[in-house]
Amino acid sequence: SDVMRRIPNDAECAEVLIGSMHNLTRPIMAFVRLSRGLSIDNMSEVSLPVKFIFLLIGPAMEEYFEIGRSLSTLFSTPDFRDIAYQAMDRRDLLCAINDFFSDSIVLPPGDYDKELLLPIIETAKMKKNNANKRSIGSKSQNRTRSNDSQQQQASSQSTRILLAKMSTLSHDKQDEDPFLRSGFVFGGVYREMHRRYTYFKSDFLDACSLHCLISLIFMFIACLAPALTFGGIIADKTCNRLGVNEMLIASSINGFLFGLFSGQPLLILGPTGPFLVFEEVLCQSLNADFWTVRCCVSLWTTFFIIILVAFEGSFMIRHVTRFTEEIFALIIALVYLYEPFKKLYKIFLSNPVQYKYNYDYPLTCSCNISSILNTTFAFDNMNSSFDDFLFSSTSKYSCYDCISRQDLFSSSNSLYNNSISKSNDENQLPNKALLSFIILIGTCFISVALKRFRRSKFFGRTTRQTLSDFGMTIALIFMVLFDMLVTKSAGGHSLTQKITVPNSIRPSDLERDNIWFISPLRKRLPFWVYFASSFPAILISVVLFFEVELTGIMIQSKLKCVHSTKVIKGTGYHLDIMIAGILISISGLFGLPWICAAPVRSLAHVASLSKYSNTHAPGEKARLIDIKDQRLTNIGVHLLIGCTIFAAPIIRKIPVAALFGIFLYFGIVSISGTQLFSRIKMTFIPTKYYPNFGYLRRVRQMKRHIYTFIQVIAACLLITIKMTNFAFLFPLILILLVPFRKMCLPFIFTERELSELDGDEEPGSTFDDEIDFYGQVHLPI
């Protein structure tokens, strides 16, 4: 039963029968192909229709067992089976056998290290590609031989078929190259809309399954945590001009509209690091005119994106290679790593750690507590605390030997709170800095530990994957509960900074007077400001173009693993960037954060909608057989995110330190998933411990170090610019890296070396279960 469960429904079997007879003088062999599969009782181990029968009978003195094993091995290869189904005579079978031996690699007996076989495996892949080409040629030859007479009698019909194929040639080229320019204004958008919207009804009907419902719940949890994290941090960076309310509303509206009209609805929109940097730079550069200039920048961004789409400029993404992507990812990762410690430094400055603490010593006594509580105390030393004064052994009001601090504070909670608020600032609580440090590091530690749990040996694969995928959310929930427990033990007094969320659906910035719409003419500005705002808009357009197009390419590569050559429902390289550009203006006009394509969440969405084969043999990796390409999950996720705005009382319990812990986690996982970071590590590792990566085996060590050094210098240059008053210029320098890679690096490295160091991995037919989504992208998170 277990074997039958792993066999496809339409499978057929081939029987290899070997025997001997004493009265035979020479072997007799027959290869039979039945016109249709026939069920024969007691013929095979499993009840399947028999399609092929190979029979070999010979004299008894010979051994024919190895011949049967060889023919069974031939039937296990797809190429031989394809030819066997279409073979017309013995010559076709002999050619198939010769091709099999030509593509086979024979190793002498021995104990081989699997890593030493990697070059042989790569050679086998190259030979397999050549074999596929020969197989196609042999199929066409077989069809030609079988149809010669028919073609002579029906030449007019074949001519019509040839003309039909020629008429669809341009359409096939567009399927193979979605960046092919049509030569018309908005031609790419029209082509994608015409093809994708044909399946608009199917995009909703295909989502009516339990698989999509589970994916919707998973993606809601996976997208909510980043939205809250970036919402809390953007409030800190923009002085509460933007906050959690705006982030949740922006994620909901932008994601809903994009999921409804986009050409690739599997792409998830969400807050990302690059746009957070832009928001911070604009807020620091502009003061009173922040909203007006930001609105103008949004409108200019939409204008530039529409011009780009009108002239089908999406083809330029071909020139953006891993060289530029990894430098960009490294810069954003360093921002992620720097900001949490910067926040901790500010907390420790405003809440210095006290080096003397009093612990509870509950003792019994006959002291009159009320007389002490009704006494007004005067501190001689302003540096001493109320605790030190009350529990000092030299004070005449000391209760050190008669009552514990816990009993006193629980008896006079109002006295304690009033005394602390008057003598010390509320932000000067002694344990606030240490508790924030514990929450920040603890959130990051739990997230990283659960991420690595995917590769552990505990529990089953499904349990490990679930804990790893929800690691960030689990860490956030755990630290919120920990903070609530500490708050309860402190008598209900919160010791950490929490997320600030308005009581109603209104803007976080009080200066906006509860008005959502922002007019670009709300304030009178110099005329040149409206044109000067186009410069940052160009830079934002570049970042938006990078994120949307590169994320779309990654999704299309996953879909091609299912459909082999082309994506059935089409692509959205032109349509998606146009919709994303329009959404930038909507966000700017309503004072919402800018939203961009989120590569990690998009890959998580694709993986959650992937269906794997259950017919693989035990020990083999499951094969990807289908991806639910539909719109409903994307729309539903963002509608649920919008509903969380009504859970403001729960959101207010989330400590800001936990959000910065997620930020630190983003920095760690994003920098560790790039080839650039791996090459930096290899600089300090002896050569004999190198793993078998192509760029390590085929590129000389000195050349690798030079390539890495160039990337590090470029990253340092961009970071230096970001730390100055010209931080808004760093996308311009990032753009200049593209022609630098195309024009300068070929003078230093050969074409083979650049293909290894700067090339993309070939998409496989399976997702590696042991690599999470952060390891599959080399883009900023």
Inform me whether the pLDDT recorded for 148 exceeds 50.
no
Let me know: does 375 contact 384? Beta carbons within 8 Å: no
Which of 514, 585, 532, 519 is closest to 292 using CA atoms? 519
Token code pair at residue 6 = 């792993």
Inform me whether the pLDDT recorded for 585 exceeds 90.
yes
Token code pair at residue 256 = 């809903």
**What local confidence, expressed as pLDDT, does residue 382 receive?**
41
Return the percentage of the chain with pLDDT > 70, whole number: 75
Asked if residue 593 and residue 536 are part of one domain, the reply reads yes
**What local confidence, expressed as pLDDT, does residue 188 receive?**
86
Q: Quick one: DSSP state of residue 753?
A: H
Asked if residue 340 and residue 387 are part of one domain, the reply reads no
Asked if residue 333 and residue 206 are part of one domain, the reply reads yes
Q: How confident is the model at residue 179 (pLDDT cuts 50, 70, 90)?
A: confident
Domain total of the chain: 3
Could you count the other beta carbons within 10 Å of the beta carbon of residue 7? 12
Residues 6+ apart with CB under 8 A from 197: none
Asked if residue 413 and residue 341 are part of one domain, the reply reads no
**What local confidence, expressed as pLDDT, does residue 316 receive?**
85
Q: Domain containing 120 — which CATH number?
A: 3.40.930.10
Distance, in Å, from the CA atom of 552 to the CA atom of 580, rounded to the nearest integer, reads: 12
**What local confidence, expressed as pLDDT, does residue 394 receive?**
45
Burial class (CB in 10 A: 0-12, 13-18, 19+), 720: exposed
Inform me whether the pLDDT recorded for 530 exceeds 90.
no
**What local confidence, expressed as pLDDT, does residue 121 receive?**
65
Let me know: does 14 contact 51? Beta carbons within 8 Å: yes
DSSP H helical ranges for 147-272: 148-153, 155-167, 169-176, 187-196, 200-205, 210-237, 244-261
| Lowest-pLDDT range of 182-186, 282-286, 591-595 | 282-286
Distance, in Å, from the CA atom of 12 to the CA atom of 97, rounded to the nearest integer, reads: 21
CA angle, 265 as apex, 261 and 331 as ends, to 5°?
110
Asked if residue 476 and residue 420 are part of one domain, the reply reads no
- Choosing from 92, 108, 137, the residue where a domain stops is 137
**What local confidence, expressed as pLDDT, does residue 413 receive?**
44
Task: Match 């999921």 to its residue by tokens.
Answer: 259
Let me know: does 639 contact 259? Beta carbons within 8 Å: no
* H/E element, 637: helix 632-643
Residue 749, classed as helix, strand or coil, is: coil
Q: How confident is the model at residue 250 (pLDDT cuts 50, 70, 90)?
A: very high
Distance, in Å, from the CA atom of 297 to the CA atom of 540, rounded to the nearest integer, reads: 9
Q: How confident is the model at residue 617 (pLDDT cuts 50, 70, 90)?
A: low
Asked if residue 624 and residue 524 are part of one domain, the reply reads yes
Token code pair at residue 663 = 């930020």
Residues 6+ apart with CB under 8 A from 137: none
Distance, in Å, from the CA atom of 139 to the CA atom of 86, rounded to the nearest integer, reads: 8
Distance, in Å, from the CA atom of 214 to the CA atom of 206, rounded to the nearest integer, reads: 14
CA angle, 720 as apex, 717 and 724 as ends, to 5°?
140
Residue 588: inside a domain: yes
Residue 133: inside a domain: yes
**What local confidence, expressed as pLDDT, does residue 166 receive?**
37
**What local confidence, expressed as pLDDT, does residue 565 receive?**
52
Asked if residue 206 and residue 325 are part of one domain, the reply reads yes
Chain centroid, CA 443 distance in Å: 20
Q: What's the half-sphere exposure (Cβ side, CA atoms, 13 Å) at 321?
A: 18
Three-state DSSP string of 296-317? HHHHHHHHHHHHHHHCCHHHHH
Residue 449: inside a domain: no
Q: What is the mean pLDDT of the chain?
A: 77
- Choosing from 102, 137, 172, the residue where a domain stops is 137
Distance, in Å, from the CA atom of 138 to the CA atom of 84, rounded to the nearest integer, reads: 12
Distance, in Å, from the CA atom of 743 to the CA atom of 751, rounded to the nearest integer, reads: 12
Q: How confident is the model at residue 579 (pLDDT cuts 50, 70, 90)?
A: very high
Distance, in Å, from the CA atom of 353 to the CA atom of 350, rounded to the nearest integer, reads: 10
Residue 145: inside a domain: no
**What local confidence, expressed as pLDDT, does residue 633 receive?**
92
pLDDT digits (tens, 9 = 90+) for 371-425: 444 444 444 444 444 444 444 444 444 444 444 444 444 444 444 444 444 434 4
Asked if residue 207 and residue 118 are part of one domain, the reply reads no
Residue-range definition of the domain harbouring residue 639: 199-347+467-776
pLDDT digits (tens, 9 = 90+) for 319-349: 888 888 888 888 888 888 888 888 888 888 8
Let me know: does 597 contact 587? Beta carbons within 8 Å: no
**What local confidence, expressed as pLDDT, does residue 471 receive?**
84
Distance, in Å, from the CA atom of 21 to the CA atom of 175, rounded to the nearest integer, reads: 59
Let me know: does 269 contact 526? Beta carbons within 8 Å: no
Residue 665: inside a domain: yes
Distance, in Å, from the CA atom of 494 to the CA atom of 181, rounded to the nearest integer, reads: 60
**What local confidence, expressed as pLDDT, does residue 446 receive?**
92
Distances (CA, A) of 643 to 154, 258, 505, 648: 65, 18, 11, 10
| Residue 50 φ/ψ, nearest 5 degrees | -90, 125
| Max mean pLDDT range (65-69, 441-445, 556-560, 697-701) | 441-445
Residue 474: inside a domain: yes
Q: What's the half-sphere exposure (Cβ side, CA atoms, 13 Å) at 11?
A: 13
Residue 169: inside a domain: no
**What local confidence, expressed as pLDDT, does residue 230 receive?**
87
**What local confidence, expressed as pLDDT, does residue 163 receive?**
36
Asked if residue 414 and residue 523 are part of one domain, the reply reads no
CA angle, 625 as apex, 620 and 631 as ends, to 5°?
140
Token code pair at residue 13 = 């079997």
Asked if residue 276 and residue 217 are part of one domain, the reply reads yes
Asked if residue 93 and residue 204 are part of one domain, the reply reads no
Asked if residue 411 and residue 332 are part of one domain, the reply reads no
Let me know: does 215 contact 257? Beta carbons within 8 Å: no
| Residue 205 φ/ψ, nearest 5 degrees | -70, -35
Let me know: does 758 contact 323? Beta carbons within 8 Å: yes
